[in-house]
Structure formats: structure tokens, C-alpha cells
Structure 1
Amino acid sequence: MSRLRLLSAAALLTLAANASASSFIMTTDSIVGALKATSDASSDATSSLRDNKVVRAARDDAASFVASEGAIRGVKLESALAQIRQQAPQLNTATDAQLAQAILAI
């Protein structure tokens, strides 16, 4: 009788381990998929902005803005910020400082 209980317990443990592993794999796959979609959207937005002449021309103004902690706002930077927000609506929640730093990083 105890042998039957041991076999039953082993079978239940095996089933539980398989269920946990498949649940972990599904969760991991969904997280990785979401991160990839976000990364692809950011990459598309960044590559289109990298090729934008207005954004590239605003690098000096962006550097002044970042260095002065927002006190110096150049005309080229203002134009670039407006264009970024128009072309990439997903970046509308970013602050001017974050966008200026992104311009410097491009």
C-alpha cells in the first residue's frame, strides 16, 4: 500500500512540476513579446528621428538646454521638440529635458 502512495505522490509531483514549467514558459514568452514590441516601436521612432534634419540641427540647442537645466531654450530645439511630438505621438509623455537628452544621444 505504501508503494502505491509513493508512486501516486511521485506522479502528482511530476504533473505539478510540468504545469509550473509550462506556466513559467508562457509567462516568459508573453513578457518577452511585449518588450520586443515596445523595443521595435522605440527603434522605429528613433531611426526616423535620427534621419530628421530639424532634429539633427537642434543638437547644439539641446546641449545648451541640458547644460543649463532648461534655462536656455533655443529656437532649433523648440522646432525639434514640436516636430518630435508631431511625428511620434508615443513620446508626448516625455518631458522636454528627456527629449533634449534623446536628441543628444541620437
Structure 2
Amino acid sequence: MTSLRILGAAALLALAGSASATSFVVTTDAVVGAVAATSEATTDVSSSFNDDKIVLAARDDAASFVASAGEIRGAHLEAALKHIRNVQPQLAASDLQLAQAILTL
């Protein structure tokens, strides 16, 4: 009877370890995907808009937007976001990602 309990406990521990490892892999994949998307948006925006006056004028508004976690949306930032999306409609980035990209210019 004791060996049956030990075997059962070992099986449960093995299953629990496997579930934790799977959860870790899924979480890691999600984080890496999010970072990759942000990096791609930053690269696309920074390489295309280095000398764009509309986008460069939005740097202060972008800083306020990022610092306030999206609460403060200035007119220059709104114009820049609209401009970026018109020039690059295939770009799938959130407003926060674009604001962060504007800050890298």
C-alpha cells in the first residue's frame, strides 16, 4: 500500500511539473510575441519617419501619452498617428507602440 501511494504521489508531481513547464512556455511565447510586435513597429516607424515634420512635432505629446499610460492624448500626437496609419496602412501597431516608436526618433 505504501509503494502505491509513493507511486501515485510521484505521478502527481510529474504531471504538476509538466503543467507548470507548459504554462511557462505559453507565457514566454506571449511575451516574446509582444516584444517582437513592438520592435517591428518601432523599426518601421523610425526608419520611415526620421525626417517627417508631422511625426517629429509629436514627440512631446508622445512622451506625455506614454508617461500617462494613454490618458493624455495631444493634438500633435493624434495628427501623427493618423499620418502614420495613412502612410503605412499595413502597420498593425497600437497607439502606445506608435507613441513609443515616435520617442525613438
Q: Shorter-normalised TM-score: what interval?
A: 0.5 to 0.7
Relative contact order (C-alpha < 8 Å, sep 6+): which is higher?
A: 2
Aligned residue in 1 for 2:103? 104
Aligned residue in 2 for 1:32? 28
Q: Retained in 1: the 8 A contact 2:42–2:98?
A: no
1:63 & 1:100 partners in 2: Cα distance? 13
2:98 & 2:34 partners in 1: Cα distance? 21
User: What letter corresponds to residue 23 of structure 1 in structure 2?
Assistant: A
1:59 offset after TM fit, Å? 2.8
Structure 2 unaligned blocks of 5 or more: 65-71
Alignment coverage as a number of residue pairs = 93
| Partner-residue secondary structure (3-state), 1:51 | helix
How well do the aligned residues superpose, as a CA RMSD in angstroms?
Answer: 3.1
1:53 & 1:81 partners in 2: Cα distance? 12
1:18 to 9, 14, 17: 14
2:103 & 2:56 partners in 1: Cα distance? 6
1:59 & 1:42 partners in 2: Cα distance? 19
Q: Retained in 2: the 8 A contact 1:62–1:104?
A: yes
TM-score by length of 2: 0.65
Aligned residue in 2 for 1:85? 85
1:52 offset after TM fit, Å? 1.9
TM-score by length of 1: 0.64
1:20 & 1:36 partners in 2: Cα distance? 24
Aligned residue in 1 for 2:67? none
State the 4+ residue runs in structure 1 displaced beyond 6 angstroms: none
1:24 offset after TM fit, Å? 0.8
